[in-house]
Structure 1
């Protein structure tokens, strides 16, 4: 299949995710649409850097390198972008696995030269084996997954979601890289929104830009047990508010909060109504979901 060469960047930071990292790389190497290369960017962890270098020393299609910038996900991604050779750069979380046609659907989106980014759908793998009864699907973004309320199919969006996303290389020429003051830093307060800020900068720099989400480009993202509890839910939603404030300060509240207004005025009220209806019908977790929202 003809199409753009795609480099896949996986940012890693802890040996605690060793098996997850190996699974993520294996899922990329098994793609029907072959990646040009896989880059593992290690975030200031010498032991992990050495271990991964040894693990993949015989793999011509996998490169291991150190984050060349400050600690954090944004700088790691920027390191991967700078070191990669593909016409398109895709990003996969280190605790996720991609379905076999993931890159094929990404590549198809770039047939339109206006398309500068293509994202996909991220499904949760709950550590307990099932979604907590109280956890509303409208908040699956809390655990890095596609949430109820996003449009289905292949659609234009304001921004893609960073753990399952790709960008045309020229997008970074127009807009620069990921802002290092916004994204995550290991296990510290779980900030985010770095991809939102980048996408808004990109559409401002090139107004005819098209950004897509294709929900056929699927990855499966592990949700560890501590993230199934309300304590993490509360911490992550608070951190998201801080991140949105940083984005609004950077790009203005108009674009910076455009999608969030629809989410809070349409998606969340509908979620509360569903939860209350389920509670009236004695369905498990309905009141908890309404309360969480």
Structure 2
């Protein structure tokens, strides 16, 4: 089985060195490692150059686009592997990362998408800082109707090439660098689980076996609170407004209803017990984002980009929108 690894990056410079080293020196090296670089300067390219002489699998693509979803789409369109593994530029993968991913796809021929665990570093202090992470349960399939919070991260996921050809790439309206700032993995996984209109849903697995360590990007103090309120509050509210108005499916409406009922039920229970509701401020930010998005003029919401509909590498121009991308030889 040929496996390609795709990393979208922007202005991380030498930070990506640890990521590349951990991937290339793992028990199961990638057949292809593609870095789609949106950086303003050449520091990331210089970091990639350190590996190209020793590892012929490394490919570098320079693009003037913005947004991690667009970078990932460019990388996936250029990838030739049967399975495409995706990670971020600020993680270190465990030495059996690709080995675990390969085993999963070999064991389940109908598996379309896979999410692994993202753990914080050993120095992480959850009381004073926040580093995005997700500790997933023991390996199992996930259903579209399960809890909203149960989903993986793009820092540790993989999918078959046939999945990309069937349901398309990441939606550029979501994710870091976009107007919605996040929820890119959730939208993609839900699209796989539900299937496109007129087509059946696909198999998605969550697992704690393939692991990566998210060692950078800690938010502390006021930045921590702003980030959490944005990620779980305003940004998520605007995301649900976006998918309900631009990509309406009955399953999406159910998930949104499910989230609100659970939150209101939890709040009501706390109030009846005389306790301050947990997460009240974040939920307030969520409501602001959701209702603001639902009742805002249609022109203020991002369009449901054609970049996220089925495409093949031959139509990579549509994936990159109007921006240009060039694969550059790294010497």
Q: Residue 195 of structure 2: which of 177, 184, 204 is its match?
A: 204
**Counterpart in the other structure of 2:184:** 194
**Counterpart in the other structure of 2:176:** 184
1-structure distance, mates of 2:158, 2:184: 14
Find the residue that maps to 1:100 and give its secondary structure: coil
Q: How does 1:39-78 map to 2 (within 5 A)?
A: 39-58=34-53, 59-67=55-63, 70-78=65-73
Residue 160 of structure 1 and its aligned partner are, at CA, apart by: 4.5
Deviations 1:252-281 (A, max 9, x none): 26333545555555589679989xx9xx9x
Find the residue that maps to 2:240 and give its secondary structure: helix
User: Compared with structure 1, are the counterparts of its residues 170 and 83 closer, same or farther at alpha carbon in structure 2 (3 Å cutoff)?
Assistant: same
8 Å CA contact 1:193–1:247 kept in 2: the answer is no
Q: Highest Rg: 1 or 2?
A: 2
2-structure distance, mates of 1:272, 1:130: 30
2-structure distance, mates of 1:268, 1:131: 26
Does residue 123 of structure 1 match 2:101? no
Q: How does 1:18-97 map to 2 (within 5 A)?
A: 18-19=14-15, 21-58=16-53, 59-67=55-63, 70-97=65-92
8 Å CA contact 1:124–1:222 kept in 2: the answer is yes
1-structure distance, mates of 2:28, 2:255: 32
Residue 35 of structure 1 and its aligned partner are, at CA, apart by: 1.4
**Counterpart in the other structure of 1:214:** 207
Aligned residues: CA RMSD: 3.4
8 Å CA contact 2:37–2:61 kept in 1: the answer is yes
Find the residue that maps to 2:52 and give its secondary structure: coil
Q: How many residues align?
A: 267
Structure 2-normalised TM-score?
A: 0.68
Q: Structure 1: which 5+ residue stretches go unaligned?
A: 281-286
8 Å CA contact 2:134–2:152 kept in 1: the answer is no
Residue 227 of structure 1 and its aligned partner are, at CA, apart by: 5.0
User: Compared with structure 1, are the counterparts of its residues 125 and 289 closer, same or farther at alpha carbon in structure 2 (3 Å cutoff)?
Assistant: farther
8 Å CA contact 1:117–1:160 kept in 2: the answer is no
Structure 1-normalised TM-score?
A: 0.76
1-structure distance, mates of 2:138, 2:259: 15
2-structure distance, mates of 1:213, 1:89: 16
8 Å CA contact 1:114–1:208 kept in 2: the answer is no
